[in-house]
Amino acid sequence: MIHLTNTKENTMNISRRTLSMGGASLLAATSLSSTAAFGEGLISDLIEGSDEFGLAVEAYIYGYPLVTMEMTRRVITNVAEPKGTRAPMGHLIKLREYPNAKFRDVTAPNADTLYTTAFFDVGDEPWIVSLPDMNDRYALFPMLDGWTTVFDVPGKRTTGTGAQTFAVTGPGWEGTLPEGVKQYKSPTSIVWLLGRIYCTGTPEDYAEVHKLQDEVNLYPLSAWGKEWTPPAGKVDPSINMKTAVRDQVNNMDAVEYFTLLAELLKRNPPNEADAPMLEKLAQIGIVPGQDFDKTKFDPAFAKRVPQIGFAKIMLHFKFSDGDVKDVDGWGFTTKTGIYGANYIQRALVTAIGLGANRPQDAIYPTSLKSGGGLIKRKYDGSEKYVLTFKNGLTPPVSGFWSLTMYDENYFFVDNPLNRYSISARQPLKANADGSIDILIQHESPGADKESNWLPAPEGKFILMMRLYWPNESNPSIIDGSWTIPPVKKTG
């Protein structure tokens, strides 16, 4: 997922891929607390009590994922050729290495998977994706539609690691695919491929993963069996490439927002389950397939609807009715990727974790405060902490797990080991009883314990656990039969 927190300005900022694709927290509480408080104030002061205003707020929340995906697509693809975290439509973006502690382009980077991603449009014809044999290496290639629904996830968990070729078809497409090509049906024209390949980060493994990335192919069905080179992108100078995507979305007034939403609905149709919502949208001039009818919307609400709509989205973080959990100081959600009619949760995940996986593929618990003792305080490198996994109770996953260290702005922490995360790929030493202590502190615990040391900064820091392909049954974080132990202060 893309982590959308800009802690320096206390606003949400598109980051990661710009890409934190699928690899970031749903718990940017350092920014969310003030936003939620602001939202509470807005709602308590709300004087607009009309049904029309309430319907407009519902419509704003409903459309937030589709509008945000489109604005993200515009920014990421508004280049002539692939470079860094951007590439034109139909081109693959290949991230080649993990960032270091000097990296400041995006927040919440990971040091576990290298991304191979692309935006493409299947509204006019299907697109073909071919993946090489991954040689049993963990990889997944989730595909998101315009509503941020993960409609299919080729990869080790679902389709295995052998070579595979599949076609992504658009809404209402009817035709014949080449023999042996599997069909994945996208509900919308917009498709975002967010591929990840596990990599240990050594020079040798980088080389292996780079070879795999270069063997991933993407092309339209009309190019099947032909030599095809994706055309250069056309740069649109009118697209704002400096302002954060979420700020661009939030700065729209309701008329601009609903005009874009109605336009997007023409090629990105709603789901069948959205029928009750569509009846409400029609009352304020939004009908799929048609332009926005401004005559049905009170222009006096143009500024207020986005303010209240976004405030309600962010309040769902604090008052989620179980959609967002806090267990032993670890905040996370298992309601991602597929949302049904839970529009407020879908909008919240869009706002703070765009690109989130299905929970069966990845969960990202985040902790900002120590779980030990009666009073919980923010983590600080002047203290020492320990995370203890009892014998046999390390994170239950079929993919991999890791614990990543960030400073309070969600960037990697410079340290003498150049270690930004710790996981089972380190030679973790067990205690006599079989338990494993992860030592979290600024100072080295000594050479004999460095294998279990996650170096912290001198000041405040944040911890993020990544669980890829978590167990779905006992023990499982998904059903609550396994939980991450609290991080305890030791000195």
pLDDT tens-digit series, residues 253-292? 999 999 999 999 999 999 999 999 999 999 999 999 999 9
Residues 398 and 319 both lie in one domain? no
- Res 106: pLDDT: 74
What is the residue range of 307's domain?
1-358
Distance (Å) of CA 26 to CA 264, 327, 480: 26, 14, 18
d(CA 109, CA 454) in angstroms, rounded, equals: 16
Q: What is the mean predicted confidence (pLDDT) over 9-33?
A: 35
- DSSP 8-class letter at 274: G
- DSSP 8-class letter at 485: P
Quickly state the pLDDT bin for 12 (edges 50, 70, 90).
very low
Question: Is the alpha carbon torsion for 424, 429, 433, 439 positive or negative?
Answer: negative
Residues 227 and 87 both lie in one domain? yes
Residues 228 and 284 both lie in one domain? yes
Could you tell me which residues come within 8 angstroms of residue 283 by beta carbon, excluding any fewer than 6 positions away? 52, 55, 296
d(CA 334, CA 476) in angstroms, rounded, equals: 11
Residue 163: pLDDT above 50? yes
Answer whether 331's CB lies under 8 Å from 365's CB.
Answer: yes
- DSSP 8-class letter at 311: H
Q: What is the mean predicted confidence (pLDDT) over 400-417?
A: 95
Could you tell me which residues come within 8 angstroms of residue 105 by beta carbon, excluding any fewer than 6 positions away? 15, 18, 84, 85, 99
3-state helix vs strand vs coil in the chain, percent to 5: 25, 25, 50
For the domain that residue 478 is a member of, what is the CATH number?
Answer: 2.60.120.1600
Residues 274 and 133 both lie in one domain? yes
Domain finish residue from 332, 358, 384: 358
* pLDDT (tens digit per residue) in 98-136: 999 998 877 889 999 999 999 999 999 999 999 999 999
Task: Give the phi and the psi of residue 305 in degrees, each rounded to 5.
Answer: -60, -50
Residue 178: pLDDT above 90? yes
Quickly state the pLDDT bin for 26 (edges 50, 70, 90).
very low
Residues 377 and 348 both lie in one domain? no
Quickly state the pLDDT bin for 373 (edges 50, 70, 90).
low
Answer whether 348's CB lies under 8 Å from 457's CB.
Answer: no
What is the enclosing helix (H) or strand (E) of 389? strand 385-389
Residue 394: pLDDT above 90? yes
Q: What is the mean predicted confidence (pLDDT) over 131-143?
A: 98
* pLDDT (tens digit per residue) in 46-87: 445 678 999 999 999 999 999 999 999 999 999 999 999 999
Residues 77 and 211 both lie in one domain? yes
Tell me if the pTM is above 0.75: yes
| Tokens 């995370």 found at | 387
Residue 94: pLDDT above 70? yes
- Res 33: pLDDT: 39
Using left for φ > 0, alpha for ψ between -120 and 50, and beta otherwise, residue 201 falls in left
Residue 42: pLDDT above 60? no
Domain finish residue from 358, 373, 404: 358
Answer whether 440's CB lies under 8 Å from 454's CB.
Answer: yes
Answer whether 463's CB lies under 8 Å from 379's CB.
Answer: yes
Quickly state the pLDDT bin for 376 (edges 50, 70, 90).
confident
Residues 44 and 192 both lie in one domain? yes
For the domain that residue 24 is a member of, what is the CATH number?
Answer: 2.60.40.1610
Residues 296 and 441 both lie in one domain? no
Domain finish residue from 300, 333, 358: 358
- Residue 110, both tokens: 């990971």
What is the enclosing helix (H) or strand (E) of 257? helix 254-265
- Res 49: pLDDT: 60
d(CA 328, CA 463) in angstroms, rounded, equals: 13
- DSSP 8-class letter at 266: T
d(CA 95, CA 202) in angstroms, rounded, equals: 15
Residues 445 and 473 both lie in one domain? yes
* pLDDT (tens digit per residue) in 306-333: 999 999 999 999 999 999 999 999 999 9
- Res 1: pLDDT: 53
* pLDDT (tens digit per residue) in 446-461: 999 999 999 999 999 9
| Tokens 């400073």 found at | 407
Question: Into how many domains does the chain fold?
Answer: 2
The overall average pLDDT reported for the chain is 90
Residue 39: pLDDT above 60? no
Residues 307 and 399 both lie in one domain? no
Half-sphere exposure of 445 (CA within 13 A, CB side): 20
- Res 107: pLDDT: 81
Query: How far is C-alpha 275 from the geometric centre of its chain's CA atoms?
Result: 27
Answer whether 393's CB lies under 8 Å from 188's CB.
Answer: no
Residues 264 and 298 both lie in one domain? yes
Residue 18: pLDDT above 50? no
* pLDDT (tens digit per residue) in 464-491: 999 999 999 999 999 999 999 999 999 7
Half-sphere exposure of 216 (CA within 13 A, CB side): 24
Quickly state the pLDDT bin for 9 (edges 50, 70, 90).
very low
Q: What is the mean predicted confidence (pLDDT) over 421-434?
A: 96
Residues 406 and 321 both lie in one domain? no
| Tokens 């996981």 found at | 423
